[in-house]
């Protein structure tokens, strides 16, 4: 099957893009490696001042459709991509991240075979700026996760989801008032309208680097909005509608002199330590030590990481290699 000849895509992958020239070519090519599903890649070029649009044009694949974004920030760009998408199924990819091979086909086939479900998702892996694996973040059981979402529990990244376009439309897209938590808010609201299934596959590679949105938003602001979307969900469950739906102004994010953000090296270090202990528990002693050494090297001033490395060295592995 040649998806470039199909004018009606089954899947639309929305990629909001702002000054991502260092990664965008690799990102889009990772999506286009899918050759068995009718596909379009909707790239939203949003107020780019670098060579990102040129990088996309150079790929030269007819499945790419680049549109101009509204220039009002990330959430508005995402919504512009949702509105422009032609596919029956919508997926999202950030302009610096990657899709694994066959992810699109696997999720599209699952939704085609299960028409009563509104969305399917999976696990993800974190990678560093150079694309090296940091940690796999997934659970091993295929299961329905509708109820846990209804209880404000979000286990994975929004970009692991394949969502039927009808539900994105019914939800009205992302709510810009919720800032960087707006897509997580979509997941909570989605679970109130349709059922969601989880498959234990790695469906996304999430890159951790200095320019990512996660590492440029103040910690206090990020935690405030993450907490707010859960509070709004509780309002919908108890009152039928939340403050946003009722037109009631939301509380402002707290003002503070604390401008700290989630530092990349600390984020990477924590995930590497988690991976090291997983390897240790699986009996992979030498691999765990190697991962632990790599963790310490990312942020050597953290004495807790050194203590964890010492514990990895001293504590016997639970199983043999």
Q: Which of 1-15, 23-37, 228-242 has the lowest mean pLDDT?
A: 1-15
pLDDT reported for residue 212: 64
Q: Which of 60-69, 89-98, 197-206, 282-291 has the lowest mean pLDDT?
A: 282-291
| Average pLDDT score over the chain | 90
* Span 157-189, pLDDT tens digits: 999 999 999 999 999 999 999 998 999 999 999
Report DSSP letters for 232-266, one per residue.
HHHHHHHHSS-HHHHTPPPPPPPP-S---B--HHH
* Span 95-119, pLDDT tens digits: 999 999 999 999 999 999 999 999 9
pLDDT reported for residue 304: 87
pLDDT reported for residue 217: 65
pLDDT reported for residue 123: 92
Average pLDDT over residues 279-301: 86
Cα 141 to Cα 126: distance, rounded to the nearest angstrom: 20
Q: Which of 10-24, 29-43, 181-195, 303-317 has the lowest mean pLDDT?
A: 303-317
pLDDT tier, 268 (very low <50, low <70, confident <90, very high otherwise): confident
pLDDT reported for residue 274: 80
- Measured CA angle at 289 (ends 284, 293), to 5 deg: 150
Q: 3-state secondary structure string, 163-225?
A: EEHHHHHHHCCCCHHHHHHHHHHHHHHHCCCCCEEEEEEEEEEEECCCCCHHHCCEHHHHHHH
Whether residue 23 has pLDDT greater than 50: yes
pLDDT reported for residue 221: 86
CB of 227 within 8 A of CB of 219?
no
pTM: 0.85
């Amino acid at each position: 099957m040649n998806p470039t000849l199909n004018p009606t895509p089954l899947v639309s992958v929305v990629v909001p893009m702002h000054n991502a020239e260092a990664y965008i070519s690799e990102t889009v090519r990772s999506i286009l490696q899918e050759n068995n599903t009718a596909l379009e890649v909707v790239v939203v070029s949003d107020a780019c001042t670098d060579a990102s649009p040129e990088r996309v044009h150079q790929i030269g694949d007819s499945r790419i459709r680049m549109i101009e974004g509204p220039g009002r920030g990330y959430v508005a760009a995402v919504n512009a991509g949702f509105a422009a998408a032609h596919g029956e199924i919508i997926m999202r990819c950030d302009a610096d991240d990657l899709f694994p091979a066959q992810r699109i086909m696997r999720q599209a086939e699952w939704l085609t075979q299960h028409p009563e479900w509104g969305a399917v998702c999976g696990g993800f892996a974190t990678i560093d700026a150079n694309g090296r694996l940091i940690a796999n973040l997934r659970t091993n059981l295929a299961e329905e996760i509708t109820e846990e979402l209804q209880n404000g529990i979000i286990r994975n990244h929004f970009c692991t989801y394949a969502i039927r376009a009808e539900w994105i439309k019914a939800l009205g897209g992302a709510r810009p008032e919720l800032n960087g938590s707006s897509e997580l808010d979509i997941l909570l609201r989605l679970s109130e309208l349709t059922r969601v299934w989880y498959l234990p596959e790695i469906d996304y590679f999430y890159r951790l680097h200095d320019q990512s949105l996660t590492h440029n938003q103040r910690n206090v602001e990020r935690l405030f909005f993450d907490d707010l979307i859960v509070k709004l969900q509780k309002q919908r469950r108890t009152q039928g509608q939340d403050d946003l739906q009722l037109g009631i102004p939301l509380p402002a994010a707290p003002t503070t002199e604390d401008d700290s953000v989630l530092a990349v090296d600390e984020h990477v270090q924590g995930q590497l330590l988690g991976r090291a202990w997983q390897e240790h528990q699986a009996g992979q002693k030498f691999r765990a030590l190697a991962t632990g050494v790599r963790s310490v090297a990312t942020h050597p001033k953290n004495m807790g990481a050194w203590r964890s490395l010492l514990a990895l060295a001293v504590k016997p592995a639970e199983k043999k290699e």
